[in-house]
Amino acid sequence: MIAHLAIFLCTLVAMEGVGYLAHKYVMHGWGWFLHRSHHQAHLGPVETNDVYLVILALAAITLIVFGNAGHDPLQWVGAGVAAFGVIYVVVHDGIVHRHWPLRPRPRHPYLRRLYQAHLMHHAVKGRQHSVSFGFLYAPPLRTLKQQLRERRVRPLRPAPQPCAPASSNLRTPPPPSPSHR
């Protein structure tokens, strides 16, 4: 029983790292076509970004099914993944994005920090140069503010360098001489 609890808790904690990496490199990378809806005005109860939550739920269900079929540790890994999904829905969708009919204001310092960090994440238009990709952990706000300042000052790409100096010996060829018939 202690081993099962340890597997569950370790998975729950590890899912924050998995979520961070998925958010930064998948959702803000090749999976932006689904995640973009999360960075736009919320028009209804469902957005294409919710596909990621469905994928998480299917992974949890699959792990629990394999665990019940004789691979016992997988059941507890699946339970940890499922618990992370529930916490995500309650904290991130409910409290941070306020997608519930009742819109509680975060009063606890931890929840306020998550809320403010996620506002900073959404302060950047588009998928590049965002900060704070975690769901249940946020770096200190001063760190995020500094990162935002650095990313706004830095050019998106280096300035192009001229191919050859202005005083180059390279010359354009003379125009062709008119031909006589």
Q: What is the pLDDT of residues 11-46, one digit of tens each?
A: 999 999 999 999 999 999 999 999 998 888 877 778
Predicted pLDDT at 85: 94
Predicted pLDDT at 16: 95
Alpha helices in 22-71 (DSSP H): 32-35, 51-68
Full-model pTM: 0.76
Q: Which of 24-28, 131-135, 177-181 has the lowest mean pLDDT?
A: 177-181
Closest to 87 (Cα-Cα) out of 29, 9, 34: 9
Number of H helices and E strands in the chain, helices first, is: 6, 0
Predicted pLDDT at 156: 45
Greater confidence, 54 or 101? 54
